[in-house]
Amino acid sequence: MITLLERKIAIRYLFTKKKDGFINIISTFSFLGISLGVAVLIVVMSVMNGFRTELINKINGFNPHLKIFPNQNPINLNELRNDLIIEISDQFFLSNNGEAVIIHNNYTKGIILRGYLRDDFKKLKVVNNENFFGNKNISYNHISIGRELSFLLNVDIGDKVSVISPTNIMSIAGSLPRQKSFIVESIFESEINEFDINIAFLNLNDLEDFFDLDKQNRYLEVFLNNPNNIESKKKIFQNIYKDNLLSSWADLNQSLFSALKVERNVMFIILSLIILIAAFNIISGLTILVKNKTRDIAILKTIGVSNNSIAKIFFLVGFLIGTFSTLTGIIIGIMFSLNIESIRLLISNLFNISLFPEEIYFLSKMPSQIDSLSIFLIGLFSIIITCLVSVYPAIKASKLDAIKSLKYE
């Protein structure tokens, strides 16, 4: 428990006199260093959280959250009436896919063809965004391709393209790859180039005829109400579809999000060193303060102030510096994170540089998502560090010999 006397002395030492100006300089640099360290850490964590969230939303806006594959038996659609599944799910689509080569004039490209029934295709998020052009129906002998693929093949809506399947057919000339012409019915844009250039859509019945696939081998795409905590939701489906194979969006993008997680943790460690280095200035400031206040400490001891109280006084000085600088850093970090896009545009226009290229990051603006838990942990870490570095000078002050101090002062 800190007494009123201890608080008053600590506050008085915190705002030292002009003759102790050097201590003020060290304290100021400690304050600024910790504040900037906390602010930078919050901004970086917010941007990385925002980037991860935006990337998840874009991937899950194009791909299903869960896929259920037939194993030995076809998928039992009646199980979808289970209350647990209904509670966490949004939509279900039957689908199938195959690899092929698409040709137009002298341009060729290997692609993945996905098949959907006409009514299901209309419900896809990529079909219902503002960057979808053409008919939202997926008719027989028609195809929907990505914007990047349309640029590569130099085709537009209404043009014909040829698709070659690796499945062979027998003819008079022998075994030949299967080839069929399709009319481009629509062009979509997912905002991720890898999807736009490598994936195209067909009517599910068209696709199965083209690749000679069995309708019993269709897989089920599941879109959930919330794609977060995917592992727990995957277990619910796994318990119901015990004889089927399941994969989630996290499984398919495991390496990408593992890399993002590692990068986030490494950045936290590196930027935490800023706070740690700034906090060590508190040791210097408090040590010099103890040296300059030797006479005061001796007088306090002679009038009955205990060693424990002396230690608490100097510990409180360090604690106040750390706490106020942390709170200042949190405020700066939050304000910066909320206005990160405006600041990016200002710097880009001022210095004529591109700070966040859209073609590299798949995003049109710099994302930022403030996480209250991250801010709490950063603030707690900063205050703990400042408390730890304040312990040594406080103990040193409490162990000063009052008689020797008065003798030599």
Token pair in block for residue 381: 């870490």
Tell me whether residue 247 is in a domain.
no
Q: What is the pLDDT of residue 387?
A: 86
Query: What is the DSSP secondary-structure string of 247-260?
Result: EEHHHHTHHHHHHH
Is 189 strand, coil or helix? coil
pLDDT of the residue at 30: 79
pLDDT at 2: 73
Say if 252 falls within a structural domain.
no
CA distance 390 to 312: 10
Q: What is the spatial distance between Cα 70 and Cα 243, in angstroms, rounded to a whole number?
A: 8
For residues 199 and 275, state if they share a domain: no
Are 348 and 202 members of one domain?
no
Rounded to whole angstroms, the Cα distance separating 401 from 336 reads: 49
Same domain, 110 and 15: no
Q: Is residue 250 part of a domain?
A: no
Amino acid letter for position 201: F
Residue 242 lies in a domain: no
Residues 337 and 390 reside in one and the same domain: yes
* Closest alpha carbon to 54 in 391, 282, 353, 362: 362
| DSSP secondary structure letters along 258-283 | HHHHHHHHHHHHHHHHHHHHHHHHHH
Do 190 and 278 belong to one domain? no
Q: Answer positive or negative: Cα dihedral of 281, 283, 288, 292.
A: positive
Based on the fold, state whether residues 96 and 187 are members of the same structural domain: yes
Residues 158 and 299 in one domain: no
Q: What pLDDT is recorded for position 405? A: 54
* Residue-level pLDDT at 145: 93
- Residue 363 confidence (pLDDT): 64
Domain presence at residue 277? yes
| Cβ pair 162, 180 in contact under 8 A | yes
Q: Do residues 209 and 76 share a domain?
A: yes
Alpha-carbon dihedral 205, 73, 252, 140, rounded to 10 degrees: 0
CB atoms within 10 A of CB 279: 26
Within a domain: residue 235?
A: no
Question: What is each CA distance from 377 to 42, 81, 367, 374, 384, in whole angstroms?
Answer: 10, 42, 21, 5, 10
Give the pLDDT of residue 156. Answer: 92
Profile the chain (409 residues) by mean pLDDT over runs of 10 residues: 75 64 67 86 87 79 87 82 88 91 89 92 88 88 92 92 78 69 92 87 91 87 86 88 86 78 81 80 76 74 79 84 89 90 80 67 74 88 86 80 57
Task: State residue 78's pLDDT score.
Answer: 86
Count the domains in the chain. Answer: 2
Q: Is residue 249 part of a domain?
A: no
What pLDDT score does 182 carry?
A: 93
Same domain, 78 and 219: yes
Check whether residue 13 and residue 78 sit in a common domain: no
What are the CA-CA distances from residue 83 to residues 76, 139, 225, 251, 258 (Å)? 15, 34, 14, 25, 33
- Domain assignment of residue 136, yes or no: yes
CA angle 136/137/139 to nearest 5° reads: 145
pLDDT at 165: 84
Question: Do 380 and 321 lie in a common domain?
Answer: yes
Residues 96 and 152 in one domain: yes
Domain range enclosing 302: 4-56+257-408
